[in-house]
Amino acid sequence: MLACDEGVVTQAGDNGDFGISITIKHSWGVSIYSHLHSFGLLVNDHVSKAQVIGLSGRTGFVTGPHLHFGIQPINPDTINGYLGYINPAPYLGEKKEKPQAPTQSEPQQTPDLSGELSEEKPISPLPSETSVKDGQSPESSQIPQSPQDEVQKEAVAMFDARIKENSMKGNQVKKEKRDEAIQRIYTFAQVKKRITNEHVRDLLHISQSTASDYLSDLVNRGMLKVEGKGKATVYLF
């Protein structure tokens, strides 16, 4: 996925039904790119036009892989039925001048090919097998790699590096949140002496399975003891 214009990232990551998405603020409004597989940007990053910002995917509420792309101008009409977003099609593509047809006052001249037809020109021989390196076709040996290919490789390498960096930061944030939650449960158990899964859910506003995971971790560490089974399970400090 490429940025449609230069701007600043205002959102990057999970976005509910939109899955993984990126929102960029431009001088004329905002653009959004949703249902991505991954992204290589952080909030407040400055992006340039046509910069690689993510990989397409099928995250969020979708039936298949695709890009949900939208633009919203400054001072949008929020009651237009699309939350202020408008059809981007008229703004995509570059305007090109149409070629002018020749006028009658300037008749077209037909080139004289009589000389070329009368002369027999030798046909250039095909490159011999000895002039081509092993494992290369004649076409590949004659086509040099363009600077654009090198730029593309560098962009992909930088993008992959940013994805790894974001993944490492994300994992670190998750670990810190988990450690903080477990510490809160342990402190709560110190005061209550006896706690249940329901107590933990109310304390942290988390699901039953997540609460069970945290409590199991505390039991495995020897910080809490367990008594009973099923819904009657009680955790003792």
Q: Render pLDDT for 43-52 as a digit per residue (tens, 0 to 9).
A: 999 999 999 9
d(CA 65, CA 58): 4
Residue listed under structure tokens 């039936």: 63
* Residue 165 structure tokens: 């960096």
Eight-state DSSP code of residue 175: H
The list of the chain residues with pLDDT below 50 reads 99, 102, 105, 111, 113-119, 121, 123-124, 126-133, 137-138, 140-141
Q: What is the pLDDT of residue 224?
A: 92
Say how many residues make up the chain: 237
Report the distance separating Cα 222 and Cα 216, nearest Å.
Answer: 10
**Across the chain, which distance is largest between two alpha carbons, in Å?**
107
pLDDT at position 112: 52
Residue 22: predicted pLDDT: 95
Contacts for 225-233 with beta carbons within 8 Å, 24 or more apart? 233/196, 233/197
User: Rounded to two decimals, what is the model's pTM?
Assistant: 0.43
pLDDT computed for residue 79 by the predictor: 87
pLDDT for res 186: 92
Q: Identify the structural domains of the chain with CATH numbers, from first to last.
A: 7-89 (2.70.70.10), 172-236 (1.10.10.10)
Residue-level pLDDT at 127: 47
Q: What pLDDT does residue 10 have?
A: 95
Name the β-bridge partners of 50: none
pLDDT of residue 95: 59
